[in-house]
A and B are shown apart, each in its own frame.
Chain A
Amino acid sequence: MTSQARLAWLQSDVGGKRVLAIILAVIIVLPLLNLLVPPDSVFHVSSYTIGLLGKYLCYALLALAVDLIWGYCGILSLGHGAFFALGGYAMGMYLMRQIGERGVYGHPVLPDFMVFLNWDALPWYWYGFDNFYFAMLMVLVAPGLLAFVFGWLAFRSRVTGVYLSIITQAMTYALMLAFFRNDMGFGGNNGLTDFKDILGFSLQADTTKVGLFVASGVALILGYLLCRYVVSSKLGRVLISIRDAESRSRFIGYRVEHFKLFVFVLSAVLAGVAGALYVPQVGIINPGEFSPINSIEIIVWVALGGRGFLYGAIIGAVLVNYGKTFFTGAFPEVWLFMLGGLFVVSTLFLPQGVVGIVQQWKDKRAEQKAHAQGKTGEAVP
């Protein structure tokens, strides 16, 4: 097998390559413009923009995770915000432990909210989070484990379609209620905030912000490559067959629930990573991230971008979130109308999203070209 053939899964993905190239360019050029160009220059990119784009990149990774299961396996999870938030909480716990004595109460070990609640010792599940590597492991394990247990129960008893959607929504709702409680030990209502530094770098510094931005971009690119690899592998073919005809796949002899469980856990882990990168950039994680509406918003990113294209999810996430930033700033009243309208329009008129429209248009043009050359038979099917 030549190296050419081995990379075919990426070579054939023209749209994906373009999107990756844009992301790569953005995470190389923008940091330079931020750090090297003086602030009064026209080409200077403010740290605010870097932070905002960093957030979008995290959302894009989250959308990617959702597209992996929805676009390729037909699992519509309305609870993916929960995995995102769990990853975020794991990172938040590490950042809380890093505050050390610099908290308002100056306690060497306990975070401020625990001192405030008169706790005398760290709960057992906070142990180890002062270690970065342990915390990063938890970023992967916590959402992965939840997805494994939940998915194992759900897929084994063949809960599918809208039933699955509703119980995933109930799952994130239950978690939200749980995390709102003070005695859960995760800061209750206010969540975890007031972070100082990560790995010894101050979170306020421009260089740290740029670093996190680049890390988010790299994570997105790697995540994309991983998802692309999975969906174009033999396993990916099975996933697509499950999406299109679950019973038939089962009758052929595939253990449908195992495939589903694998891809569900993988997707949850990716969402967790996105959450972990998101938290240091926005500086807070609270139970609001678990709210069902957040999870459902992810779905509209994917739907608008184009379900089942992977890079469509990235485009959708960036587009919708840019729109959200713009409209909540300029016309806060209009945003929810816009978002609601997007749901309706994208399902009614754009069943394949923006990417699908472009694809259709391209196909049409290719067909016309072929017509012109008198080779109708070879038009793209």
Chain B
Amino acid sequence: MTRQPKRAWWVRAWLALLILACSQTLWAQQQAPDFTAKIADLTTSSFSKRAKAIEAVVALDDERVLPVLEALLEGDLYYRKSDDRVVIAVDAESGYRITDVISGEDLGAVGKRDVKKIATNNRMRKNLRVQIAAYKLVNKNPDVRRTAAGDLIKTPSPEFLPILQKAIANEEEPAVREALKVARAVILLDSDQEVDRLQAIKDMDGYPNKYTLAMLKQLVRQNDDGSYNEPSELVREEAIAVLKGLEAQETWYKFVEDLFFGLSAGSVLLLAAVGLAITFGVMGVINMAHGEMIMLGAYTTYVVQLLMPNLIEASLIVAIPAAFVVSGLMGIIIERTVIRHLYGRPLETLLATFGISLILQQLVRTIFSPLNRSVITPDWMSGSLQVNGFLSLTYNRLYIIVFALLVLFGLMLLLKRSFFGLQMRAVTQNRAMASSMGIRTGWVDAMTFGLGSGIAGIAGVALSQLTNVGPNLGQSYIIDSFLVVVFGGVGSLWGTFVAAMGLGVANKFVEPMAGAVLAKILILVFIILFIQRRPRGLFAIKGRFVEG
């Protein structure tokens, strides 16, 4: 008896759920016929009836409406002849690949003759454009509204004026409101009322956008016959003032963008050089095969993507530890077999590791072919962050900057805070003393070299997102990396950081003045001269050295 109420509770809950589900289905069924019927009306053969049908569809409050309207405008809306189902079609190998607009169900590929296009005429398209814009401008998401306003700036046309006026009146988000005003202004700039044009130019003030900038420039330009595109002196003066502000803004954002590019190039250099800073700076070993460790990392990314073709989005996350292990192991093997025998003979080490780099390159050429391999960029890495009309930052570069900083930070933590780092620094400072304190110097050497190589592998993962992955990938970075390490001061991670960022940014800013190749030459010459002045780099470790 005691279990009775419990059961009743359970049953009641279940019933409640059932009822709720039923009512949901009922509600959906009630809604669905409306949308279905309105959509079905589009298949009518008469243009006037179809125009009415479109109006009816526009009036629906349904998220499926927008794709239909856009497909209709692009001429991608069809209906299947066999059952009159309205579908969106995209070109496939033979015929189309169609998707049902009502259920969103993929109906597979059909022949070109199985479907019929829902044709539109000029007037309908014009109307559609306005309707689509209006539809987007009342979207709940402010980002969508803002993007829609941005699109309208690019394609000014008087027919958008009424919906813009309405949208401005209803808009509460200040940023979107500003964008909408500018969208209205680009239309009003063609107005024959001087006061409208003046207001339009005032609205454009301070809003960063390439199109408005071009329009204003056009406006104040003097034609060959001495007349201006803008007849009114007053409007022209206002335009010149606004233009000045916008141009100053553009220059500033151009500078920010260059700086960003420079920093991202510097981050790539940092990733490539930081491993070298460990092997060269901490161990004093010149590893000419360092570039090939980067290459191995890039190829590891390629192989990881081959192994998990369905999980491309996650492939980079997997590739980072994989590349670290592959390159790190290769580094340990090289250290144990070759470099171990050459400590204290830096020039010989340089030659032997150069030989290893040739072997690794040829190995990759034999296994993967000498051609470049393409590494897929996951969606979250592609595209760009549109900060405003003048400034957009590509995601891959943004991530690389963050990633490089994380790697540097992690490395510093490892060196300064871990037991292994302590041992490593001890061996660096005084090998004999460390050895007599019971540190296995041979083991520390191998691990240090493995660490440096592993980080090069990680750099390879990052580089695979920026450049082609080929057997020569590493070679192109090795000279730059050495210069960064030497410029920054051997043995100093901070020096490497400053040198890499400095060189990246300097290269970016010299480039427009002198061209890419000459910029590179100038930087090289600068470093050569710099090393002459300060042979121990920017952040030299203080101490007394006899030679070397």
Contacts and interface: CB of A to CB of B under 8 A. Distances in A.
Main secondary structure of the interface of A (DSSP, over half): helix
B479 A169 contact: yes
A165 B483 CA distance: 11
A157 B532 contact: yes
Interface residues of B, number: 44
B371 interface: no
B531 A163 contact: yes
Given A180-B517, A246-B547, A343 B358 contact: yes
Interface stretch (A223-231, A232-240, A295-303): A295-303
B517 A173 contact: no
Contact of B351 (A161, A300, A336): A300
A173 B352 contact: no
Interface stretch (A37-45, A200-208, A344-352): A344-352
B528 A160 contact: no
Interface stretch (B48-56, B359-367, B428-436): B359-367
Nearest to A178: B521
A343 B354 contact: yes
Given A167-B528, A178-B521, A347-B342, A340 B479 contact: no
Interface string B120-155: 000000000000000000000000000000000000
Contact of B362 (A76, A154, A177, A336): A336
B356 interface: yes
B535 A157 contact: yes
A341 interface: yes
Nearest to B362: A336
B482 A341 contact: no
A25 to B, nearest CB: 33
Contacts of B531: 157, 159, 163, 167
B348 interface: yes
Contacts of A167: 486, 527-528, 531
A243 to B, nearest CB: 11
B341 interface: yes
A142 interface: no
B59 interface: no
B351 A339 contact: no
A368 interface: no
A72 to B, nearest CB: 14
B348 A163 contact: no
Contact of A160 (B357, B532, B548): B548
B359 A341 contact: yes
A344 B352 contact: yes
B284 to A, nearest CB: 9
A173 B527 CA distance: 13
A76 to B, nearest CB: 5
Contact of A337 (B349, B362, B528, B535): B362
Nearest to A158: B535
A342 interface: yes
Contact of A157 (B351, B360, B533): B533
Nearest to A165: B350
Contacts of B405: none
Contacts of B525: 174
Interface in A270-305: 292-293, 296, 299-300, 303
A222 interface: no
A370 interface: no
The 4 closest A-B pairs by CB, nearest first: A343-B355, A340-B358, A340-B359, A336-B362
Interface of B: 286, 338, 341-342, 346-352, 354-363, 365-366, 475, 479, 482-483, 486, 517-518, 520-521, 524-525, 527-529, 531-533, 535, 546-548
Interface of A: 76, 153-154, 156-163, 165-167, 169-171, 173-174, 177-178, 180-181, 246-247, 292-293, 296, 299-300, 303, 333, 336-337, 339-344, 346-348, 351
28 contacts: A156-B532, A158-B535, A160-B548, A162-B346, A165-B347, A166-B482, A166-B483, A166-B486, A174-B524, A174-B528, A180-B517, A181-B517, A247-B546, A293-B475, A296-B351, A299-B351, A336-B365, A337-B363, A340-B358, A340-B360, A341-B355, A342-B355, A343-B352, A343-B355, A347-B342, A347-B349, A348-B338, A348-B341
Given A157-B533, A171-B528, A347-B342, 15 more contacts: A153-B528, A158-B535, A160-B547, A161-B347, A161-B547, A169-B479, A177-B517, A177-B520, A177-B521, A178-B517, A246-B547, A296-B351, A337-B358, A344-B359, A347-B348
